[in-house]
């Protein structure tokens, strides 16, 4: 369900991983999520780490625990939108840092992105847009 | 909860070699601790002292607030590194035999653990693989409701699947409110995600200690990588 990278704090990865599932729509309001014990076992992580992550997610309103029934995804549409925006901002921030680190300027980035997207879609700047045509079979 | 294990200037000599050489340590309840270090750094000696099996040569040690001995043994579960199972017994007989020694033996938990570990009760110990014997040893240590659980090298020299199952059994069944659990290992990568705290031992002393998540954040590396750096 989640992949853990042990060179980073684990608790944050559990929080981010579940938020990602919510943002993608893989976890919908009311869906059951693994109990803390099952999550600890699946990830081979200390139950204290899982508890800390679940407590934060509960405080954010992403999950809710019903006594005796388990833990459920609890984010409504507004919160999902807000979380999606936050994830987008963080992804863009990481990307921009990488681009600036490579020596590109902010103003160059939009053009570079358009070119790269066109190339990936197999359009190659031939004037067409819209439906991607696979010319190299490299795209997914 | 007070300290479940505390050591101050703890020393242990074997012949003319100091296995522990002024070790200071405090273990509180509700946490899983990784006791890390290369072979010969003092991990096993510390656990044996805490289990009440070995007398220290100097310094202070307290388990559950008192000197290790008959009283503390009742509340401390210890998984020894060496294999001390009776080869002629079946798994069921082994469990029955050991359960008579401990007031805190939990038969329901033992049965559930056997199943999780994929151990068939009627199998004879003699016919078990190394990995299966390691699984059985873990069942024996976790089947008790002990306040302090000491696992000495539970992962060494066994197949990856057994290692994985053992770590899963530990994190899935550990109850922070029941006490503390200490896992000694020199194979950090196998178990590091299970640790709340870690202590790196070096020649009988604490070289580095900290909260696992804090160390990952501070150093931007896994405990395995930090281990390599500490003992480089």
Pick from B31, B32, B213: CB nearest A10: B213
Q: In chain A, what residues touch B220 (CB-CB under 8 Å)? A: 7-8
- Give the model confidence (pLDDT) of A24-66 as tens digits: 999 999 999 999 999 999 999 999 999 999 999 999 999 999 8
- Give the model confidence (pLDDT) of B4-24 as tens digits: 999 999 999 999 999 999 999
At residue A130, does pLDDT exceed 70? no
Q: In chain A, what residues touch B210 (CB-CB under 8 Å)? A: none
Task: Using pLDDT thresholds of 50, 70 and 90, give the confidence band for residue B214.
Answer: very high
Task: Using pLDDT thresholds of 50, 70 and 90, give the confidence band for residue A121.
Answer: confident
At residue B207, does pLDDT exceed 60? yes
A56 at the B interface (CB within 8 A)? no
Thinking of the domain B3-230, which architecture would CATH place it in?
3-Layer(aba) Sandwich (3.40)
Task: Give the integer Cα–Cα distance in Å for B67 and B81.
Answer: 23
pLDDT of residue A137: 45
Pick from A37, A38, A45: CB nearest B193: A45
Q: In order of start, what are the domains of chain A with their CATH numbers?
A: 10-75 (1.10.10.10), 91-120 (no CATH)
Q: In chain B, what residues touch A37 (CB-CB under 8 Å)? A: 172
In chain B, domain spans = 3-230
Task: Using pLDDT thresholds of 50, 70 and 90, give the confidence band for residue A123.
Answer: low
Nearest alpha-carbon partner for B49 in B178, B150, B170? B150
- Give the model confidence (pLDDT) of B56-77 as tens digits: 999 999 999 999 999 999 999 9
CA B124 vs CA A31, B119, B228: distances in Å = 45, 10, 40
Q: In chain B, what residues touch A6 (CB-CB under 8 Å)? A: 189, 192-193, 216, 222-224
What is the spatial order of strands in the sheet that B32-36 belongs to?
B76-79, B148-152, B180-185, B32-36, B197-202, B205-211
Query: Contact at 8 Å (CB) between A71 and A65?
Result: yes
How is residue B135 written in tokens? 């699984």
A134 at the B interface (CB within 8 A)? no
ipTM: 0.92
Query: Contact at 8 Å (CB) between B155 and B189?
Result: no
């Amino acid at each position: 369900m989640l992949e853990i990278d042990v060179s980073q704090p684990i608790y944050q990865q559990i929080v981010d991983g579940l938020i990602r599932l919510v943002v993608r729509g893989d976890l919908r309001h009311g869906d059951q999520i693994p109990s803390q014990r099952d999550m600890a076992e699946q990830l081979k992580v200390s139950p204290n780490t899982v508890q800390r992550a679940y407590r934060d997610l509960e405080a954010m309103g992403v999950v809710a625990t019903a006594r005796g029934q388990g833990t459920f995804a609890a984010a409504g549409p507004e919160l999902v939108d807000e979380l999606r925006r936050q994830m987008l901002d963080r992804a863009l921030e990481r990307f921009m840092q990488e681009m600036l680190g490579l020596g590109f300027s902010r103003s160059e980035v939009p053009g570079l992105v358009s070119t790269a997207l066109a190339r990936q879609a197999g359009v190659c700047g031939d004037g067409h847009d819209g439906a991607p045509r696979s010319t190299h079979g490299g795209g997914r | 909860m007070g300290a479940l294990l505390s050591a101050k200037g703890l020393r242990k000599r074997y012949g003319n070699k100091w296995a522990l050489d002024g070790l200071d340590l405090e273990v509180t309840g509700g946490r899983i601790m990784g006791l890390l270090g290369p072979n010969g750094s003092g991990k096993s000696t510390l656990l044996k002292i805490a289990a009440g099996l070995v007398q220290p040569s100097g310094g202070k040690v307290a388990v559950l607030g008192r000197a290790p001995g008959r009283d503390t043994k009742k509340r401390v579960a210890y998984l020894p590194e060496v294999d001390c199972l009776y080869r002629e017994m079946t798994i069921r007989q082994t469990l029955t035999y050991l359960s008579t020694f401990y007031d805190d033996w939990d038969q329901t938990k033992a049965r559930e653990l056997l199943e999780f570990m994929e151990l068939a009760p009627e199998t004879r110990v003699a016919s078990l693989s190394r990995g299966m014997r390691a699984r059985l040893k873990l069942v024996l240590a976790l089947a008790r409701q002990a306040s302090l659980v000491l696992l000495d090298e539970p992962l060494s020299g066994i197949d990856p699947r057994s290692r994985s199952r053992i770590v899963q059994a530990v994190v899935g069944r550990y109850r922070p409110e029941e006490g503390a659990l200490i896992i000694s290992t020199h194979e950090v990568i196998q178990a590091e995600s299970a640790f709340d705290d870690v202590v790196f031992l070096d020649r009988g002393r604490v070289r580095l200690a900290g909260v696992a998540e804090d160390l990952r954040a501070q150093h931007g590396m896994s405990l395995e990588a930090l281990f390599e750096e500490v003992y480089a």
